[in-house]
């Protein structure tokens, strides 16, 4: 990593970063449903997890943190991309220009004008999405921020954070999560496949309707898996969101199949593709043995975990109810936000409260992350003590101020 540690400078006291939270109101809890609908195992057998995208992060959340081999990339509240060494807790602006002071919007570390808070690291390259003339494009850069190139066009976009990426093999898959959810106008939602080698663009899936969205795009083996969600208004104008189930696009067969019609919020593979975990809204977490085609409910939904996001680091299964608490904030207090750590049989190993969390990112095999209220309050827990640790620590000793606001035209 090239570049120098930059001394933080103060900005005017009135400067506050704006965090955009997309709020959709869910109504009606689902806990009285019957057992989960069966899976189409033929669509998910033979998956090799040696080829897997970095989806231990919360796929549909803002993507402000990305794991590299020895550290992490983070987008500050000033929209500056920094590289973080977790041992020293020092941050370096990701700019390869030797003459740059890293204090203006001309710095290569500044990601203003891009899809908000979205940075990805995949196979030794950084990826982010600049917006030009209402179109989000994919840009690639070296780990130090140099050697930048535009790969191709993704999807129409304003300055929101609704476009998300999933990586698999030599391709990236882009989708818009939530822009049209709740809309009375009919739209066609797409998953765009873009070649990382030559920028060729292909639509691999599309669905048309009112108030509909693609979600949870993840790559496993040669399968690009995703859910489709839709919302309906009741007589009082409240919105209820429901999943149409899990779908899988095969890179080799170039076809889409439906894995289940169940109301699934999130899912994950484990044990080299032999075990499939999925969370059914109102029911809980199911574990499916792919070889025996046996499925069992291993964690029951309750008042505080009616639906959860799901991830795994290969050792434990992780649930978080952050999105649920955001949606039901009128009846479920933020104090109830938490990570639930499970062993592979569904036994609770630890519960980690996250009462101040804005976003809950999961993490990788090294650390668990969340972003708390306040400027640049990125929090972490070392997974070496994941069975007992409940106290969050701050990555930075305060907000990261790099830009010289006195000389920036606002």
Give me the domains of the chain, ranges plus CATH numbers: 41-405 (2.120.10.30)
Which among 264, 266, 268, 265 is positioned nearest to 277, based on CA atoms? Answer: 268
- What average pLDDT does the structure give for the chain? 85
Token pair of 3, please? 């570049």
Give the integer Cα–Cα distance in Å for 293 and 279.
17
Q: What average pLDDT does the segment 291-310 reach?
A: 93
Residue 170: pLDDT over 80:
yes
pLDDT digits (tens, 9 = 90+) for 196-205: 999 999 999 9
Give the integer Cα–Cα distance in Å for 89 and 301.
37
pLDDT digits (tens, 9 = 90+) for 48-60: 777 666 556 766 6
Which among 55, 61, 62, 85 is positioned nearest to 73, based on CA atoms? Answer: 85
Residue 209: pLDDT over 90:
yes
Residue 376: pLDDT over 50:
yes
Least confident of 47-51, 89-93, 298-302, 379-383: 47-51
Token pair of 66, please? 């990305």
Residue 367: Cβ within 10 Å count: 21
The model's pTM is 0.88
Instruction: Output the 3-class SS for 55-77.
Output: CCECCCCCECEEECCCCEEEECC
Q: What average pLDDT does the segment 16-32 reach?
A: 37
pLDDT digits (tens, 9 = 90+) for 322-345: 887 877 665 566 678 999 999 999
The pLDDT confidence band at residue 29, using thresholds 50, 70 and 90, is very low
Strands 317-320 and 338-342: antiparallel
Q: What average pLDDT does the segment 241-250 reach?
A: 93
């Amino acid at each position: 990593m090239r570049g120098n540690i930059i001394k933080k400078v103060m900005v005017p006291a009135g400067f506050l970063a704006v965090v955009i939270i997309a709020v959709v109101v869910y109504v009606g809890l689902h806990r009285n449903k019957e057992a989960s609908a069966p899976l189409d195992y033929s669509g998910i057998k033979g998956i090799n997890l040696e080829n897997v995208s970095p989806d231990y992060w919360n796929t549909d959340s803002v993507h402000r943190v990305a794991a590299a081999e020895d550290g992490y990339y983070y987008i500050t509240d000033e929209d500056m991309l920094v590289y973080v060494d977790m041992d020293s807790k020092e941050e370096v602006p990701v700019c390869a220009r030797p003459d740059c002071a890293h204090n203006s919007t001309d710095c290569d570390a500044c990601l203003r004008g891009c899809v908000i808070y979205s940075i990805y690291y995949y196979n030794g390259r950084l990826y982010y999405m600049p917006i030009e003339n209402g179109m989000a494009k994919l840009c690639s850069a070296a780990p130090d921020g140099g050697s930048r190139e535009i790969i191709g066009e993704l999807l129409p976009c304003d300055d929101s954070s609704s476009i998300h990426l999933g990586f698999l093999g030599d391709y990236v898959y882009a989708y818009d999560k939530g822009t049209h959810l709740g809309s009375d106008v009919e739209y066609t939602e797409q998953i765009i496949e873009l070649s990382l080698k030559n920028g060729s663009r292909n639509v691999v899936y599309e669905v048309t309707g009112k108030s509909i969205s693609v979600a949870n795009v993840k790559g496993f083996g040669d399968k690009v898996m995703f859910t489709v969600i839709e919302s309906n208004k009741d007589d009082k104008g409240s919105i209820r969101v429901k999943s149409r189930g899990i779908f899988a696009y095969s890179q080799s067969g170039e076809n889409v199949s439906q894995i289940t019609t169940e109301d699934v919020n999130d899912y994950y593979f484990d044990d080299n593709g032999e075990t499939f975990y999925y969370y059914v809204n109102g029911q809980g977490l199911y574990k499916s043995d792919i070889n025996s085609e046996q499925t069992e409910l291993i964690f029951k939904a309750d008042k505080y975990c009616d639906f959860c996001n799901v991830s795994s680091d290969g050792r434990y299964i992780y649930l978080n109810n952050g999105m649920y608490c955001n949606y039901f904030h009128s009846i479920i207090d933020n104090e109830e936000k938490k990570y639930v750590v499970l062993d592979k049989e569904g036994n609770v190993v630890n519960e980690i409260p996250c009462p101040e969390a804005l976003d809950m990112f999961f993490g990788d095999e090294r650390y668990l992350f969340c972003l708390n209220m306040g400027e640049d309050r990125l929090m972490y827990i070392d997974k070496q003590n994941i069975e007992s640790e409940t106290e969050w620590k701050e990555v930075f000793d305060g907000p990261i101020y790099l830009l010289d606001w006195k000389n920036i035209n606002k």
